[in-house]
Structure 1
């Protein structure tokens, strides 16, 4: 099951899973019932209902909002905090639902954070901090999940061209650097793609709490 699997990195994960022969359920706000399960990923009752009906053995949570790219003085509190109300709430909602149900022993939950939390992202408001909190919540869930036989992992991709969030960041930082979008993208030599990220998620077998994902695949995030 891919929450947010109709576009971006989530679409890459769903495509890789289908190519590997898995039965995939995509959960997304605007998806048609013929293609997945439509609904609001921040809705706790919806998350609990969907997990109870489908009981996935791999739950991947990629849904979130593309941040508004502005300097701090250009943000309002509403725009600055947008990812706290979407990304953080979605992670909390689905992790809580997965553990409350609970999913079957041997299941894995993968939550998408962002490498922005490690380097900062001064034009994206509260995005980097929200993603850091996503990793904290996933870490809390991982401790509770262990006794249930469930693995909870956070993955931290960098800026990914070809995705909504990635292209939003690329255009903003290219403009701030006074270079073209293509020149900025050319500097992202370690950037993964949605397709390679999808394959990496399927290949993820470790039990470390967090992994960085780039063009070379995944590797455990060093302890703080």
Structure 2
């Protein structure tokens, strides 16, 4: 369904090749936005273009590269920017991690949030624009089997929080919002994490998932981010199957 406040406006979504990013791009395109989708995988980008049509522009690039961020913002001048790209963490306890595996989410998830948010604050985005950073419920609850993932996602939230403060101080009129989705088996990343934690507890996946109540779906994530993009909410939001709830 087209949303008047978004119809015809440019949006950039990173990490669109799968999971939440793909669902968010689909929701924004369905609302009438002109979506630029960024991901490393050309095949997945082509598939999404076939699905969404000419309202979607595919860009095969590394979203954590500051030169990519600068080029795409300059070229497309997004009204809505959704930062969803991220590395898949290595699912192992601390003692079985290497620093390379432990830090991979810092080098992708946090680097992406930093570079794009910094550019926005330095004048790359117009007043009235929105930056929505995808964090994780792990930022609140921790995730002992995924190395530095939880800490990196907490840093993503802090980047959005700090950017919101600077935007307000400078009167930029740019919204910065972070979304913390609860763990769900609905994505490849989430399914691997669920399987690892179920195994750690000595239960099957279905038992582990059912113990947590209704599972969040990618479609719910897409709709929730769409609501944030179309609205004027500020701050940080935990996202569960029950919906969005402000964390601060």
Query: Which TM bucket (shorter chain)?
Result: over 0.9
1:188: how far off? 3.0
1:64 aligns with 2:86: yes
| Structure 2 match to 1:107 | 129
How far apart are the structure 2 equivalents of 1:169 and 1:40?
A: 24
Q: For the aligned residues, what is the CA RMSD?
A: 1.5
How far apart are the structure 1 equivalents of 2:188 and 2:115?
A: 23
| Structure 2 match to 1:40 | 62
How far apart are the structure 2 equivalents of 1:166 and 1:214?
A: 14
Deviation beyond 6 Å, 4+ runs, structure 1:
none
1:21 aligns with 2:11: no
How far apart are the structure 1 equivalents of 2:27 and 2:42?
A: 19
| Structure 2 match to 1:30 | 41
**Aligned partner of residue 80 in structure 1, secondary structure:** helix
How far apart are the structure 2 equivalents of 1:66 and 1:194?
A: 17
Q: Is the 8 A contact 2:181 2:238 kept in 1?
A: yes
Q: Match for 2:201 among 177, 189, 206?
A: 177
Q: Deviations over 1:95-141 (max 9, x none)?
A: 11222242111110000111111111111111111111111111111
| Structure 1 match to 2:184 | 160
1:12 aligns with 2:34: no
Unaligned runs of 5+ in 1: none
Task: Please give the TM-score of this superposition, normalised by the length of structure 2.
Answer: 0.85
Q: Match for 2:145 among 123, 129, 139?
A: 123
1:180: how far off? 1.4
How far apart are the structure 1 equivalents of 2:19 and 2:85?
A: 9
| Structure 1 match to 2:236 | 210
1:87 aligns with 2:98: no
| Structure 1 match to 2:159 | 137
How many corresponding residue pairs? 222
Task: Please give the TM-score of this superposition, normalised by the length of structure 1.
Answer: 0.94
How far apart are the structure 2 equivalents of 1:19 and 1:40?
A: 25
Higher mean C-alpha displacement, 57-66 vs 21-30? 21-30
1:60: how far off? 0.4
Q: Is the 8 A contact 1:64 1:83 kept in 2?
A: yes
| Structure 2 match to 1:50 | 72
Larger relative contact order (CA 8 Å, sep ≥ 6) = 1
**Aligned partner of residue 24 in structure 1, secondary structure:** strand
Q: Match for 1:189 among 193, 197, 213?
A: 213
How far apart are the structure 2 equivalents of 1:187 and 1:206?
A: 34
How far apart are the structure 1 equivalents of 2:227 and 2:94?
A: 39
